[in-house]
Chain A
């Protein structure tokens, strides 16, 4: 169970303090939790705070009752938090097999790599020894990023916009991947997404707007509100009409 208590995050912009997240209180114990909301509402910041990449200005994070607020990225990863980046990182020299081995925490056999990659629609024959460098497309990197999280099998898996850059291979498979992950590890899968088809599989949807939680609930409760979220200012709404 992951608990966020009074989480706030401020960042500086041109000498001015900006509140990115304000007083977030959230308990996550469901299988699939989707966090959605307009661009700039603080979704990615929230995910990075859970993974330890950003430190909250205020508040506490608890994993199964243990306060992890002061824990490093490495410690949280070892305690069971995984994070799939929105924009996967490239590495000169490290291969797909190297990265999957690092993710799994042990040397993986080619047959294992094959099964991991096939889950995300890639054939190992073409990828196992490829370097994670500029020769891979954004979509290929994204799939490998997802395969790495699958290899980790942790109790909390966070995906920051997994659908971005993924072709029609597609959402259906992506959703199958999430379901399989849950079957195997029974953990919490936290997905930041704008995609209705991903929101549709969520047991719980968190709607963020302007750094605050606008609404939390089942998809039946939250989906109808989604269209009304993040009302634009008049200048913009005049143009939208």
Chain B
């Protein structure tokens, strides 16, 4: 693995060396390393590109890293990864994709991740997207996440895209069964002419199910963002979504929430706020000796922390 690929790995998975536990590293469309453990098995799919990750019931405190790096300009790929998480597990999954494009052709990665989380299992899923390189070719990422939570299961997804992705369409769908809970925290920053679209559809099918979607984003320069969320309550459940965006320069941000209650005890809330950085926040930091630009940077950094 070369220096560029190592830098991408560090950015998307905080990996500076070979991770502990199970991992599968994909570099420029090929497998660049894999490790399985007694409890976590990883196999290559036969019918399409991608892997199956099977985690034995009861596996606790283990992690799986499946980073993807692309440094070859013009490479376009779709990868299908399926996670089968057994009952009563408590595990961390770190995915993420880094694209370095130094050429003129567009590079694109579409990761289609499906999670089948069995009863009472707990998953923390971390996904980071990062782009670098000074080529004119676009860096495109279109992640699709499909989540199935069985009774009493819990999944917390943290998804971060801070830098360098020219275009992204992120689609997440989830089915939440009785007593199961889903939390999604999304952080996005776009700049230049970037475009980011996120689309969440969550179906709460069982009693006492819950979902909490939290999106914080910053749109700079002439970038555009669209946030869409659809929460459907088909049982006695709690759904909450929150979209909080800072708009700067000549950017554009849309928040399109949709709530549907099909049950009298479905309790659904959406909050959305889009606005520029408050003038009084800038003034406060300037009275501490920061320049306007430094104040802006601190506010954005804090907001996306």
Write out, one digit per residue, whether chain A residues 53-86 have a CB within 8 A of any chain B CB (1) or not (0).
Answer: 1000000000000000000111001100111010
Q: For the complex, is B44 an interface residue (Cβ under 8 Å from A)?
A: no
Across the two chains, which residue of chain A brings its CB closest to B295? A74
Task: Tell me whether A91 and B286 are in contact (CB under 8 A).
Answer: no
Task: Tell me whether A51 and B302 are in contact (CB under 8 A).
Answer: no
Write out, one digit per residue, whether chain A residues 97-140 have a CB within 8 A of any chain B CB (1) or not (0).
Answer: 01000110100000000000000000000000000000000000
Which residues of B sit under 8 angstroms from A236, Cβ to Cβ?
none
A94→B303 CA distance, assembly (Å)? 7
Q: For the complex, is B184 an interface residue (Cβ under 8 Å from A)?
A: no
Across the two chains, which residue of chain A brings its CB closest to B287? A83
A224→B216 CA distance, assembly (Å)? 55
Across the two chains, which residue of chain B brings its CB closest to A131? B302
A73→B287 CA distance, assembly (Å)? 6
Q: For the complex, is B15 an interface residue (Cβ under 8 Å from A)?
A: no
A85→B278 CA distance, assembly (Å)? 15
A89→B298 CA distance, assembly (Å)? 14
Which residues of A sit under 8 angstroms from B298, Cβ to Cβ?
94, 98, 102
Closest CB in chain B relative to A159 CB, distance in Å: 12
Q: For the complex, is A143 an interface residue (Cβ under 8 Å from B)?
A: no
Q: For the complex, is B79 an interface residue (Cβ under 8 Å from A)?
A: no
Q: For the complex, is A43 an interface residue (Cβ under 8 Å from B)?
A: no
Contact A51-B287, Cβ < 8 Å, known A74-B292, A89-B281, A92-B244: yes
A51→B287 CA distance, assembly (Å)? 7
Counting chain A CB atoms within 10 Å of each CB, the highest count among B216, B287, B289 belongs to: B287
Write out, one digit per residue, whether chain B residues 228-260 have a CB within 8 A of any chain A CB (1) or not (0).
Answer: 000000000000000010000000000000000
Task: Tell me whether A105 and B286 are in contact (CB under 8 A).
Answer: no
Q: In the complex, how many residues of chain A place their beta carbon closer than 8 angstroms to a beta carbon of chain B?
A: 24
Which residues of B sit under 8 angstroms from A190, Cβ to Cβ?
none
Task: Tell me whether A94 and B278 are in contact (CB under 8 A).
Answer: no
Task: Tell me whether A94 and B302 are in contact (CB under 8 A).
Answer: yes
Q: For the complex, is B283 an interface residue (Cβ under 8 Å from A)?
A: yes
Across the interface, A91 reaches (CB within 8 A) one of B283, B292, B299, B304, namely B299
Which residues of B sit under 8 angstroms from A152, Cβ to Cβ?
288-289
Task: Tell me whether A91 and B281 are in contact (CB under 8 A).
Answer: yes
Task: Tell me whether B287 and A77 are in contact (CB under 8 A).
Answer: yes
Across the interface, A73 reaches (CB within 8 A) one of B278, B281, B286, namely B286
Task: Tell me whether A89 and B280 are in contact (CB under 8 A).
Answer: yes
Q: For the complex, is A93 an interface residue (Cβ under 8 Å from B)?
A: yes
Q: For the complex, is B32 an interface residue (Cβ under 8 Å from A)?
A: no
Task: Tell me whether B299 and A74 are in contact (CB under 8 A).
Answer: no
Q: For the complex, is A206 an interface residue (Cβ under 8 Å from B)?
A: no
Across the two chains, which residue of chain B brings its CB closest to A72? B286
Task: Tell me whether B303 and A82 are in contact (CB under 8 A).
Answer: no
Task: Tell me whether A78 and B281 are in contact (CB under 8 A).
Answer: no
Contact A102-B288, Cβ < 8 Å, known A73-B283, A89-B280: yes
Q: For the complex, is B112 an interface residue (Cβ under 8 Å from A)?
A: no
Which residues of B sit under 8 angstroms from A102, Cβ to Cβ?
285, 288, 290, 298
Contact A74-B244, Cβ < 8 Å, known A92-B302, A93-B303: no
Q: For the complex, is B291 an interface residue (Cβ under 8 Å from A)?
A: yes
A94→B288 CA distance, assembly (Å)? 14
A155→B101 CA distance, assembly (Å)? 52
Q: For the complex, is A148 an interface residue (Cβ under 8 Å from B)?
A: yes
Task: Tell me whether A98 and B288 are in contact (CB under 8 A).
Answer: no
A92→B301 CA distance, assembly (Å)? 10
Which residues of B sit under 8 angstroms from A88, Cβ to Cβ?
284
A83→B292 CA distance, assembly (Å)? 16
Which residues of A sit under 8 angstroms from B288, Cβ to Cβ?
77, 102-103, 105, 148, 152
Which residues of A sit under 8 angstroms from B305, Cβ to Cβ?
93
A189→B267 CA distance, assembly (Å)? 52
A193→B291 CA distance, assembly (Å)? 29
Closest CB in chain A relative to B54 CB, distance in Å: 38
A74→B283 CA distance, assembly (Å)? 9
A105→B290 CA distance, assembly (Å)? 9
Which residues of B sit under 8 angstroms from A73, Cβ to Cβ?
283, 286-287
Shortest Cβ-Cβ A-B pairs, 10 listed: A93-B302, A94-B302, A77-B289, A73-B286, A89-B284, A93-B303, A83-B287, A74-B286, A78-B289, A89-B280
Can you list 20 A-B contacts with CB-CB less than 8 angstroms, sorted by A residue number?
Answer: A51-B287, A53-B283, A72-B286, A73-B283, A74-B286, A74-B290, A77-B290, A85-B280, A89-B280, A89-B283, A91-B281, A93-B299, A93-B303, A93-B304, A93-B305, A94-B299, A98-B298, A102-B288, A148-B288, A152-B289
Taking A89-B284, A91-B302 as known contacts, 4 extra A-B pairs with beta carbons closer than 8 A to each other, sorted by chain A number, are A72-B286, A77-B287, A92-B216, A105-B289
